[in-house]
Amino acid sequence: MPSEVPTILPDVLAPGLRVVFVGTAAGKQSARVGAYYAGRGNRFWITLYEIGLTPRVFEPHEFASLLEYGIGLTDLAKHTAGADNSLRVQDFDTHALRWKIKRAAPLAVAFNSKRAAQEFYDSRKIELGRLPTPLGTSAVFVLPSTSAAAKSSWDLARWQAMADWIRAREAQNKAE
């Protein structure tokens, strides 16, 4: 169940989405302006366009309009903001995320960093790519972070593979 403590950024969730992107927590700039992935140099918005999930590059303040494209947004730590290295284990609410994903039942859940997935699964052995075990009915992907701080490990191909899987699954579902 969701907490009664105010969140830094609102969830962008609805039933039956194509994908829900899960970050660790809002960055300082995102918290300041009240918009997801607003940090200077964050590749999230251009990446959605480059992999074909959106028809144009959106601005961070347009985050709520992603629902029109079947895309949801949330964070593992909803009540604090900052860089990954400033977050503490107690900042993460895995139970709330599990509940949200179960209710929304998206086709896929995509962690926008290994750190978010590692905290959610309480495991340092998480690798990038599609995980073998779904979360409820949702396939799970662990993607390289779009944060400018993680540019040395950036890999668009992992994001493209996730988008291609979503399109293939949608086509399969339509054919059934």
Domains of the chain and CATH, by start: 19-175 (3.40.470.10)
Q: Which residues partner with 130 through β-bridges?
A: 141
- pLDDT for residue 112: 96
Residue 30 · residue 75 · CB < 8 Å: no
Residue type, 123: S
| Sign, Cα dihedral of 108, 13, 113, 24 | negative
Residue 116 · residue 20 · CB < 8 Å: no
* SS3 state of residue 38: coil
The predicted model scores a pTM of 0.92
- pLDDT for residue 4: 56
Helices (H), the chain: 28-33, 44-50, 94-104, 114-121, 156-175
Rounded Cα distance between 113 and 173, Å, is: 28
Rounded Cα distance between 96 and 78, Å, is: 10
Q: What are the residue ranges in the chain where pLDDT is below 50?
A: 1-3
Query: For the segment 45-64, what is each residue's pLDDT rounded down to a tens digit?
Result: 999 999 999 999 999 999 99
- pLDDT for residue 77: 83
